[in-house]
Chains A and B, each alone.
Chain A
């Protein structure tokens, strides 16, 4: 589960970003991408007005990958107008089922 340092001056905006990303739902599993554990990191550059989401997909051949990435960009641009969004897909570490949050596991069971 993604965590931030509360002493970070960007703590609240990063937490807000994570909360808004809960609106992005995996189309097959019907679970939001935060509870899926797909989001690894959130970087905010207030001076350049840029938000960078470092995330992965459940598999590199995920047929809904492009849709999820597009949804993340749309979601951030909707809730944080004035910021440019960049989504960085990473494959290390590879997503596993251990990435699911307790809530995610509960929704699947």
Chain B
């Protein structure tokens, strides 16, 4: 058996996704600064819809797609089915995001928004074809593969419903109110796509990065079935009856699934052999805390909704921002520097390693920028989320200022890694 070969020709496609995603993150933060006061209002607001879609698609999904082109061959132990499909998907994805986000920002649900949604749907279907054909060639039949495959399916459903909602603005044909479908669309995306995909990838990478001897998949199996059951029940029940007392039970099933995953993370951490954690890994644990806080808000959202109390809007806003700008953001900000340096390192040093002393992948990252990024992100969390909760606009502004610093540090560091110049030292000089 051979070692898994990292395909150097994947470098361009992966790095292109990382660069695009970083720029989208900066754009998200700038857009947030321009409508900071909207975070105290209703979430069904054109500017917030534009920001949410840019964060979910341009920032979160874009980087996951890029990373998955590199990681799928590793996790599934086979070559990526098609690099051309990956490029075509990107070519549809980019104008799709631009059209959709721009038309949400100015709220023009016309041809621009419709073509944007079609481009995105096409891009996502092409990505799904690539994932499923790659999985079909693979030798693995693991829980990670189940998570990734199912997440990809949920992404397709999310994009399909999103497209239908876009067309429904101009040609109303859906049998229910837009807001009712928005809940389903958002949860398919958050729980179905992001959560399952992140769990699937972390199932392989977390034990590897922590050098953990924990090998048991029982908790992950339980997570898989509980999360998918909760999501399907939520979609059917909420479509038929909107939020109701049963939603508590469904939320409990979903939260139980997330708790099982967090227990898996804890077990990996507990049985880790590598005691000293680098900054990206340590900061990643902050993301799990933010996920925990977000899911603990769910019962309150249901309670205030059933009570017809407008507080449900504020709690929903807090829940959504904690998930997107908290959990997913923290995870990406840190895991970028666990994946990107390896991709760049392989390109620069794979043929030289062993002949010369070379830097290690972690040496490609600027640690000072990383520290400022971590501190400013913590400052963002400590001000922005309380700002939303208490309705203090100055705290929201302070948080966004900190997030702007985070974004600038992140982009500088990403650029530094990508523009790295090969440097070696002879062994006899050591």
Residues of chain A having any CB pair with chain B under 8 Å: 23-25, 27-30, 57-78, 89, 91, 96-97, 100, 105, 108-109
Residues of chain B having any CB pair with chain A under 8 Å: 1-6, 70-71, 74-75, 77, 140, 204, 208-209, 211, 213, 273-276, 342, 345-346, 349-355, 357, 360-362, 427
Instruction: From B75, B273, B350, B427, give the contact of A108 (CB < 8 A).
Output: B273
Are A27 and B4 closer than 8 Å at their CB atoms? no
Are A66 and B3 closer than 8 Å at their CB atoms? yes
Interface centre among A62, A66, A76, A105 (most CB of B within 10 A): A66
Are A78 and B355 closer than 8 Å at their CB atoms? yes
Could you jot down 11 A-B contacts, CB within 8 Å?
A23-B357, A24-B354, A27-B342, A28-B342, A61-B74, A61-B77, A72-B354, A74-B352, A76-B354, A78-B355, A100-B273
Are A63 and B351 closer than 8 Å at their CB atoms? no
Report the bound CA distance from A30 to B341 in whole Å.
Answer: 14
Report the bound CA distance from A33 to B354 in whole Å.
Answer: 12
Given A23-B427, A27-B361, A97-B211, A64 and B351 contact (CB-CB distance below 8 Å): no
Closest A residue by C-beta to B275: A109
CB neighbours of A59 from chain B (8 A): 208
Instruction: From A23, A96, A97, A109, give the contact of B354 (CB < 8 A).
Output: A23
The secondary-structure label for the interface of chain B is loop
CB neighbours of A100 from chain B (8 A): 273
Are B275 and A74 closer than 8 Å at their CB atoms? no
Given A74-B355, A105-B273, A61 and B75 contact (CB-CB distance below 8 Å): yes
Report the bound CA distance from A89 to B2 in whole Å.
Answer: 7
CB neighbours of B362 from chain A (8 A): 30
Report the bound CA distance from A96 to B3 in whole Å.
Answer: 17
Report the bound CA distance from A97 to B275 in whole Å.
Answer: 14
Closest B residue by C-beta to A71: B354
Report the bound CA distance from A60 to B74 in whole Å.
Answer: 9
Are B360 and A60 closer than 8 Å at their CB atoms? no
Given A28-B361, A30-B360, A68 and B211 contact (CB-CB distance below 8 Å): no
Are B355 and A64 closer than 8 Å at their CB atoms? no
Instruction: From A23, A69, A97, give the contact of B273 (CB < 8 A).
Output: A97
Given A29-B211, A66-B5, 15 extra CB contacts under 8 A: A27-B361, A29-B274, A58-B208, A60-B77, A62-B74, A63-B71, A65-B3, A66-B4, A67-B349, A70-B350, A74-B355, A78-B355, A89-B2, A89-B3, A109-B275
Closest B residue by C-beta to A96: B213
